[in-house]
Amino acid sequence: MDGQADQPAGRFAVSARDLTQAAVFAALLAALGLPGTLTVGPSGVPITVQTLGVMLAGSILGARKGALAIILFTVLALAGLPILAGARTGLVALASPTAGFFVAWLPAVLVIGALTATMMPRYRVVWGFLINVLGGMVVIYAFGTAGLMLRTDLSWWAALSANGLYLPGDLGKAVVTALVAAQVHRAWPGLIPVRRRRPAEAVDG
């Protein structure tokens, strides 16, 4: 075999292997919701480990397949399956103060996946950690803060400050994700395609 049989025909096509990998990470996201939630602070936003799954999806699968995993999970959640932490459905999450955090998963995985692709085929833990912080924390906190302002009577500063309670845990998730992703990419290279650089134009002699 030439190794191309399972490759998508077009840039945005999805192969059977892509779909399988995305489904595995959608299932991982659901499994990470099983431990439940821990609500702290006045914002009502619970602590969960599902954002770890978002970081892992972007860091291991990249932007396209990671986004597919989030979309599969979101469709199932919106269809009524209680797969969000605390046995919540997607509609319940969208009607709650956590709406912004849930909506942020897709842009977060796109940012993480796109930036991770820029350093492939060699995954660097330090850069991976920083990418997870940007996509898995800054992006999600930005959407989450906006959601809190829309769903509660918190001011901008109060909504933003509420995220401070989650910093230690999310920093830990970013570290864990970077370490796991480094090992996965070392063992299974090629999960995220290497971006091809355009060759320099020949200079006439």
107 secondary structure, DSSP code: H
CA distance 129 to 58: 12
The pLDDT score that the predictor gives to residue 42 is 52
The pLDDT score that the predictor gives to residue 68 is 97
CA distance 205 to 190: 38
Q: What is the pLDDT of residues 152-199, one digit of tens each?
A: 888 888 888 888 888 999 999 999 999 999 999 999 998 998 766 555
User: Any bridge partners for residue 47, and if so which?
Assistant: 38
Confidence of residue 38 (pLDDT cuts 50, 70, 90): low
Q: What is the pLDDT of residues 137-150, one digit of tens each?
A: 999 999 999 998 88
Long-range contacts of 41-45 (CB under 8 A, 24+ apart): 41/162, 41/165, 42/162, 43/97, 43/148, 43/152, 43/154, 43/159, 43/162, 44/96, 44/97, 44/98, 44/152, 45/97, 45/98, 45/101, 45/144, 45/148, 45/162, 45/166
List domains and CATH numbers for the chain.
16-187 (1.10.1760.20)
Q: What is the pLDDT of residues 62-113, one digit of tens each?
A: 999 999 999 999 999 999 999 998 888 999 999 988 899 999 999 999 999 9
